[in-house]
Structure 1
Amino acid sequence: MTQILATEILTLARARGLIVTTAESCTGGLVAAALTDIAGSSEIFERGLVTYSNAAKRDLLGVAQDTLDRHGAVSEQVAAEMARGALDCARADLSVAVSGIAGPGGSEHKPEGRVCFALAGKITAAVVETVEFGALGRANVRAAATEHALRLLRDALARLG
């Protein structure tokens, strides 16, 4: 399914002359990998950022320490700042950010399988959401989060008409 979504993203972004980017934490670059697995992706994707640590989120994406302190890395607020930071860093038109708890583990307040997403763009309204994938296991949470992030990108591009 990721290959189909990535191909649709390539087609839609190419038709609109748009550049997309990614800011990833728990997916560790899987969204960028899905996009760049498609021949011709260099027309719509120049760079993505894997910011696994809080320091990387601050240093590379400009996520505020105060936001991390108040909400934690797995939060819609941090995902939104990641998405905005990626837009600037990559000089892109549309970005998707992913931050979550792939597992194993988690806590009562932030369980395994919770993933926060944000979509930001110069050409679309911002979107933030949290999806509770559940304790599917690390690989399955990461795969589900990758597919969801790709759907967010595809749907945003499709809405542009």
Structure 2
Amino acid sequence: MQYFASLRDVNDQCEAYNAGWAGRWNPVIHSFFDATDTEIPSKDNSYWCAAFLNWCLERCAYKPGTRSSSSSSFRGLRGRTNSPRRGDIVVFRDGPSGCQGHVGIFVGMQGTQLLVIGGNQKKGEHYSVNTKALPVPRSSLRVHSFLRTTDLRPPLSSGRCSA
């Protein structure tokens, strides 16, 4: 995630590869949906925070996340904690019904705000991969849960390595 957050490469229209594009789907973001069982969206206004987190988990050899592009799919994963550590998953609820939300990785606290790194986070005029301070609670966005990322690590092999 840090790699994508620090990415400064842009296309011919000066649109960042770590952000949504104005006129068409960014192919980098489009590829995050490969880590989901969700049909790849045809429009560039789809939410992609959960697709990005699933993509990152897959690339880092964790057990599969949720294989869903819905942030609410992370609400059912095991590993809940009330004392989050850097690198844990933070799941949010949004809206009056709480059906929508957001998901990212907990970085730490900045006063009373959560620092979260994730995809599809608005910074300036664009939704991108970035680290953002999120006031808690903020309007309708509320923390649903924190999940230990370490609970998604595959077990270590009990056998000896052979060459």
Query: Is TM more than 0.5 here?
Result: no
* Class of the TM-score when normalised by the shorter of the 2 chains: under 0.3
Q: Which has the higher helix share?
A: 1
TM-score by length of 1: 0.27
TM-score by length of 2: 0.27
- Greater C-alpha radius of gyration: 2
